[in-house]
Amino acid sequence: MMEFLDRTAIAELLTRPNLKHLLEVLNGDGEETRIVGGAIRNALVGKPVHEVDLAGTALPETVTARATAAGLKAVPTGIEHGTITVIVDGEPFEVTTLREDVETDGRHAVVRFGRDFARDARRRDFTINALSVSLDGTLHDIVGGVADLRERRVRFIGDAITRIREDYLRILRFFRFHAEYAMGEPDPVGLHAAVIERRGLLRLSAERVRAEIMKLLVAERAAETLRVLSDHGFLLLLLGGVTNEGRFIRVRDLERGLAADPVRRLAALAIHVTEDAERLRERLRLSNEEYRRLTAFAALVTRLKDMRDELDERAMRSLVAEAGLETVTDTLFAVAGEPRPALSEQARRAFDDLRNGREPLPLFPLRGADLVAAGIAKGPDIGKRLERARQAWLAEGCPTGEEVKSSLLALALAEPDSRIDSL
């Protein structure tokens, strides 16, 4: 079980000079500002605290005036929600005025500003997100978030169905926070409510869904949580296709020691053929780069599954030269242990050496300028000659050296019917 830290972790937050200075600037004369949300939650469970958010009674214009008077920069980054970003010695802090919900429609909320910390806490999604800390170090726990952190569980505040109907994205947040902070099975009340209301996810924008899914994929207990999502029909609803949890687990295990990569994990989980990438591009509004990686993964998986022969060391170098190290890594992590492709021990070592920088990545040594310098006129013929030489280079396992470049140039300069077709 994760060690539960005492309040000294909270006290350490308040030793941060920029944070302490900002709280002193914003407090006083009837106004109070507190640390809220993830910074407290993470400090208590021993996770890194990267960003600190604040909430208080002061209206946005008051926050701006006080910050400016203290020589700080105030930027209205979310003024429609009452949020001002204050920059203290280069460090940004989001400061949001306390709020009360006036109207919700499952996607957006109409709010009014308030002055009651308890009421603001009760309008939040989960108990572990409703903690606040005042400048004197007092930890305020209105809805039992500390107990839930201690027991490693994620619970909705109040009636779970009501909380979900206020914003259906809370379904995905429920699972994402479970994957990051909880142990065991999800809270049964919250899970039941999420299942009942799951069709509400279809009302959300693809961008909001994508953001939560990408965060969930790299969470500490993503694999276990994805199993729950699959068992209860969420993955099919969200992704629209068959998933492969086994590949996801292999990628997770092979990534240990590396930064978790959400695109690689999405590919392992949900990509079998190029059509899957097309579908996810639309469903999740993927970026062009994310879509490129998924289509490259699909193409290489298909190619490797068709290979009957074992990949040797030369074939591995050629594969990396042709498909790129990133795509090869994404793919080999996902299919590790499957019957195909079969890799020789030398191929595995070559892949590890390339991936860890012990061997330089294979780079085709010939350029169009080399052919022009040798007397070939600029035009489409240059590309054809280079490709003929490149294919021969790939077939030989991407050899290096000046003699190789000379042989490649001779091959590129030769006419196609000259029978010079290899190095």
What is the third-level CATH fold of 1-151? Beta Polymerase; domain 2 (3.30.460)
Give, rounded to a whole angstrom, the gap between the first and last alpha carbons of the chain: 60
Each residue of 247-256: pLDDT tens digit?
999 999 999 9
Looking at residues 21-47, what average pLDDT do you find?
A: 95
- What pLDDT is attached to residue 329? 98
- What pLDDT is attached to residue 288? 98
Phi, psi of 311 (to 5 degrees): -80, 125
Provide, rounded to the nearest whole percent, the portion of the chain with pLDDT above 70: 95
* Residue of higher predicted confidence among 8 and 230: 230
3-state secondary structure 306-336: CCCCCECHHHHHHHHHHHCHHHHHHHHHHHC
User: Residue 351 region, left (φ>0) first, then alpha (ψ -120 to 50), else beta?
Assistant: alpha
Each residue of 289-321: pLDDT tens digit?
999 999 999 999 999 999 999 999 999 999 999
Which pLDDT band, with edges at 50, 70 and 90, does 105 fall under? low
8 Å CB contact between 16 and 133: no
Looking at residues 174-190, what average pLDDT do you find?
A: 97
Each residue of 347-368: pLDDT tens digit?
999 999 999 999 999 999 999 9
pLDDT higher than threshold 90 for residue 417: no
- What pLDDT is attached to residue 2? 40
Looking at residues 143-170, what average pLDDT do you find?
A: 96
pLDDT higher than threshold 70 for residue 421: no
DSSP structure string for 147-164: HHHHHT---BSS-HHHHH
Domain 153-238 has CATH 2.160.20.60: no
Other CB atoms closer than 10 Å to residue 373's CB: what's the count?
10
**Any idea where the domains of the chain sit in the sequence?**
1-151, 153-238, 240-362, 368-418
- What pLDDT is attached to residue 383? 96
User: Taking all residues of the chain, what is their mean pLDDT, rounded to a whole number?
Assistant: 94
pLDDT higher than threshold 60 for residue 161: yes
pTM of the model: 0.90
Task: Give the separation between CA 288 and CA 293, rounded to whole angstroms.
Answer: 9
pLDDT higher than threshold 80 for residue 420: no
- What pLDDT is attached to residue 9? 84
Burial of 253 (0-12, 13-18, 19+ CB in 10 A): exposed
Give Cα 335 to chain centroid, integer Å: 21
- What pLDDT is attached to residue 54? 98
Looking at residues 58-85, what average pLDDT do you find?
A: 95
Bridge partners (DSSP) of residue 74 are 86
Residue 360 tokens, joined: 């330089």
Residues 6+ apart with CB under 8 A from 379: none
pLDDT higher than threshold 70 for residue 418: no
Looking at residues 65-71, what average pLDDT do you find?
A: 98
Long-range contacts of range 23-31, CB-CB < 8 Å, 24 or more positions apart?
A: 23/54, 23/135, 24/135, 25/66, 25/67, 25/70, 25/72, 26/54, 26/56, 26/58, 26/63, 26/66, 26/67, 26/95, 27/56, 27/135, 30/57, 31/56, 31/57, 31/58, 31/62
Which pLDDT band, with edges at 50, 70 and 90, does 220 fall under? very high
pLDDT higher than threshold 90 for residue 379: yes
Sign of CA dihedral 53, 143, 146, 232: negative
Residue 243 tokens, joined: 């998933």
DSSP code for 423: -
Each residue of 397-410: pLDDT tens digit?
999 999 999 999 99
Looking at residues 379-389, what average pLDDT do you find?
A: 96
